[in-house]
Amino acid sequence: MEIIVTNNYEELSRKAGEIIDSQLKKDSASVLGLATGSTPLGTYKELVMSYEKGETDYSFVSTLNLDEYVGLSPDHHQSYRRFMNEHLFDQINIQKGNTYIPDGKADNLAEECERYEQVIDEIGPPDLQLLGIGENGHIGFNEPGTSFESGTHVVELTPSTRQANARFFDTMEEVPTHAVTMGVQSIHKSKKIILLASGKRKAEAIRQLIYGERDEQFPASSLKEHRDLTLIVDREAYALVNEKG
């Protein structure tokens, strides 16, 4: 694991953007694994700025998103398809047909999980996967207790994860209870992983990631075995790393 400690969230976002830009310059047909949520927003802003300066080209890039809420249509204001369109895809020259996100409205979710896993293998695996980490150690929507051998699957979201996402919805009742997510094993297919963590709320999770053992009750711990993992973390999120107790 390579660890890059930055002074703040803005510097973290710039560093992540630089690594992704470097990947695109190395291979203009790269496959990017992408995440949603508040943590990667700054990174996406950096990617858009780089594109607007003419420094990157997405004409031949493909993307694979980690997850989508069950029950939300692509045009729902809180769907991850809409999130990606608004914060990245609509602002760069990527072909929308090359952007892949699970279908949370599929009639048969089991079949959708199988289909998406096939897409990962056929389109990818990602050359570079962007990840965030939950306060409980979740990656994607792989909650504590998820098998490290899991492929794309439907997961019931824990109360803590739903509570963390409630700020994006008008009421708690509107927060979906399930999601389709790449599994831990699916994520590990990626050639390179960038894990982002920002803010003091993530400090305990980062401490546990670095000092703890691999444990399915803390899904992010599986990443310790990945062949090419870079953790980019700001000082607030890194604050407990030297406090093993």
Q: Which residues are catalytic?
A: 67, 136, 138, 143
Q: Compute the distance between CA of residue 37 and CA of residue 167 in angstroms, rounded to an integer.
A: 11
60: tokens are 């031949």
Beta strands in 45-151 (DSSP E): 62-65, 67-69, 99-100, 128-132
Q: Compute the distance between CA of residue 81 and CA of residue 65 in angstroms, rounded to an integer.
A: 9
Three-state DSSP class for residue 167: helix
* Cβ contact 101:72 at 8 Å: no
* Cβ contact 234:13 at 8 Å: no
Q: How far is CA 74 from the centre of its chain?
A: 18
Residue with tokens 């509107």: 174
